[in-house]
Structure 1
Amino acid sequence: VHGPLLLLADEPTGNLDAVTGERILELLLTLHRQAGTTIVMVTHSQEVAARADRILVLDTGLIRELAR
C-alpha cells in the first residue's frame, strides 16, 4: 500500500526492545509528518502516548480526551 490516508496500529511497540520500539515509533511519526497519514494507535505506554498529537482513553466504556 502506498500513501495510506489512515493507519491503524495496535500496540506497535508493545513486545519490542526499547531501541526497536523507538525506531518503529519514529517511522510512524515520520509517516504522519511527511505524508499526512492519520495514525490511530492503541498503546498502554504513557511514554508512547505522550508523543501523540491527541490522546483519547477508554474509561469505563466511554471515550474521553486527555487534556494537555
Structure 2
Amino acid sequence: MNHKLTSDRFAVVDVNNKWLDAKKFSPPRGAKMMMIDRRLGVAVLGVWRDADGWTHWCPLPTFDRDDE
C-alpha cells in the first residue's frame, strides 16, 4: 500500500486505490460500498441507488490472510 496525508493533513489516502467511475464500471446493487459525488467530495458508506446522484464508487477493504 502506498498511502500519504493530504496537503491539508485532513485525510490519509491510498494513492494506488482509485474511485471507480459509475458510468464506466456499473456498481453492484444491494451491497455496501463507499460512494462519492465527485463535485461534493464527501464519501459515504451505503448501498448504491441511482436516484442518489453518486458519480463514483469503491469496494470496501479486506484484511490480509496473515492479519488474522
Please confirm whether the aligned pair reaches a TM-score higher than 0.5, indicating the same fold. Answer: no
Larger Cα-atom Rg: 2
TM-score, scaled relative to structure 2? 0.25
Point out the structure with the larger strand share: 2
